[in-house]
Structure 1
């Protein structure tokens, strides 16, 4: 993990130097650029995840029919569902891959920000829009609550976009409301730089999700 943390620190410094060349020498800008870079690199995985989820939603009537047919034989029902997935080239675990990829990135950024060697020649380099990116602000009633609130709002919207059955599926509905609260708490209890990363990642994810949803809908219309 130390190698990943060192790599994250090195990459952030490269992006900081890049922001300096355009007159925005700030680590907040570097974190935003880092987030956009990461989301761009894993976009193919995100697209595959959403295409798989869309197919899973479309297959729900057939899955329910199989479960009803074999309601007294769980093993046979599971085998039939897996065969259905195989027939339609759906990976039920495909949605986990982008999350698994991002977990070490999230932890590496957290570790890097805890002991980050900020530019000593620029005392304000780690101050971004009134936030000290090194500080943990908690839940004090102040301007700094904006980041946890933004984290909750963008997590809610992003979860809503990726879970089309959230209003009817009990599990998805629970996640729809629990995840924003969870990440609001996380954003208030980690360095503000990490909260900025999460909010930026959600915003980029929302735009990517709108694009993917539109593209998949167009494909479905053409197939009909």
Structure 2
């Protein structure tokens, strides 16, 4: 089944390239950008559910901390009270994980499909002569900077009520993860690095759309 997903993604990418041919600008780079937007649109309901769940969990962190401190000598009682709080606030602590689990096979298949894709007779895009080969400087920098932007905005929108330990860990990931992915992108095929760059850009737009109602509210301003 995993190979079937890989083949399907490869076929969709080739179909999108043929669309660019039809409109007179044949480009696998444009096809990858279109594929990224298409995948993000398909996964948008799951992403929205995941982000809303993360926001709800962050909002409850102060109350959870109070319950943990209040019943620090009674861990079972603390757990019962926390579960009661989840029920009262209608928050499912697993709701943020399930969408990610559903998305992972698709993302892994996409990674594999782009890593092995044959880009045919028009493999270049902008300054990249061949999307099958790594771009050692510019795309890795763009991958790192766009991922940093996405994570920074996500933390601003969902991490206002994070516990100090959690906030410190988030801050560490904010700098470590983009640098790591940018470093790895130096050895990725340029087509895959282009996908990750676009994935972060579209992901940032997604977050702003999903959290837009809160941005102008008193809650979003805090």
TM > 0.5 fold call: yes
The answer to whether the aligner puts 1:147 opposite 2:134 as a matched pair is no
In the TM superposition, what is the alpha-carbon distance from 1:220 to its structure 2 partner? 7.0
What is the count of residue pairs matched by the alignment? 211
TM-score (norm 2): 0.85
Return 5+ residue gaps in structure 1 as ranges: 138-143
* Correspondence for 2:78: 77
The equivalent residue for 1:140 is none
12-21 or 53-62, which deviates more? 53-62
Residues 82/203 of structure 1: CA separation in 2 closer, same or farther (3 Å cut) = same
| 1:109 match: secondary structure | helix
Higher mean C-alpha deviation, range 212-221 or range 176-185:
212-221
Q: Does 1:60 align with 2:56?
A: no
Is 1:204 the counterpart of 2:202 in the alignment? yes
Say if 2:151 is the partner of 1:159: yes
Q: CA-atom RMSD, angstroms?
A: 2.2
Distance 1:115 1:179 in 2: 24
Which residue of 1 is the match for residue 172 of structure 2? 174
- C-alpha distance in structure 1 between counterparts of 2:6 and 2:139, whole Å: 24
TM (normalized to structure 1)? Answer: 0.84
Distance, in Å, in 2 between the alignment partners of 1:40 and 1:84 is 33
Alignment match, 2:97: 96
Larger RCO: 1 or 2 (CA < 8 Å, sep 6+): 2
> Residue 163 of structure 1 aligns to a residue in which SS?
helix
- Residues 170-189 of structure 1 show CA distances to partners (whole Å, capped at 9, x for unaligned) of 22122212211121122222
How far apart in 1 are the matches of 2:203 and 2:171? 20
2: distance between equivalents of 1:218 and 1:78?
35
* 8 Å contact from structure 1 (residues 148, 185) kept in 2: yes
Matched, 1:186 2:184: yes
Counterpart in the other structure of 2:33: 32
